[in-house]
């Protein structure tokens, strides 16, 4: 009788464990409330960080998780010593060295966005106001980040990385069609 009772209690406990394992919604926390979509990135950029339309060596590849693989910025081809310019107006939030590389970060005016440029020998200091196209430093020779000299340009909203190219308006991203201007003082054909 005692053995039978023990067997029944064991089976009941096992059944309870199996049912709990098969029905995770019974023990899981309530799902988080749906979040509103992140606001779009305003196209406030008025200049490329280097050159007029540099070659993109590696584009933005958002990571699947916070620490996952990906590319949290854009690599642009440029020669060492090239002036690095602020893409939009803002205030320098950091200018210094991180892991042996020069970094400049600019908090963009009237936004919750921050751009980063590296490796840069900074010519600005924390707290400086910058305008679009203003030089913030010069490009340092690249270590192992790119196969050729490049600048890594990043964009963050809080701790979330975004595509920095989204800061640029279409007229800066694309080479538009050729436009013919009127030629004055040339006689018209008869």
CA pair distance 110, 127, nearest whole angstrom: 15
Q: What is the CA radius of gyration of the chain?
A: 28
- Quote the pLDDT of residue 11: 65
As averages over each run of 10 residues, the pLDDT of the chain (190 residues) reads: 70 61 54 72 92 90 82 92 97 95 96 96 98 97 79 93 93 69 70
- Quote the pLDDT of residue 23: 53
- Quote the pLDDT of residue 31: 60
- For tokens 């958002």, name the residue: 62
- Quote the pLDDT of residue 105: 98
Tokens of 127: 């707290």
- Quote the pLDDT of residue 26: 47
CA pair distance 95, 187, nearest whole angstrom: 57
Chain Cα centroid distance, residue 169? 16
DSSP element (H, E) containing 11:
helix 2-22
């Amino acid at each position: 009788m005692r053995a039978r009772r023990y067997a029944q209690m064991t089976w009941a406990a096992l059944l309870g464990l199996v049912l709990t394992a098969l029905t995770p919604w019974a023990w899981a926390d309530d799902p988080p409330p749906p979040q509103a979509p992140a606001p779009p990135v305003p196209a406030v950029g008025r200049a490329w960080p280097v050159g007029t339309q540099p070659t993109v060596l590696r584009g933005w590849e958002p990571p699947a998780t916070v620490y996952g693989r990906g590319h949290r910025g854009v690599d642009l081809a440029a020669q060492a010593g090239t002036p690095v310019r602020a893409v939009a107006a803002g205030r320098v939030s950091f200018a210094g060295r991180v892991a042996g590389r020069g970094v400049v970060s600019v908090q963009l005016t009237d936004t919750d966005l921050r751009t980063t440029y590296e490796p840069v020998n900074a010519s600005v200091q924390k707290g400086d106001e910058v305008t679009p196209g203003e030089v913030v430093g010069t490009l340092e020779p690249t270590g192992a980040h790119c196969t050729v000299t490049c600048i890594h340009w990043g964009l963050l909203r809080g701790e979330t990385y975004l595509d920095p190219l989204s800061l640029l308006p279409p007229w800066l991203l694309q080479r538009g069609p050729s436009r013919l201007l009127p030629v004055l003082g040339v006689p018209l054909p008869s």
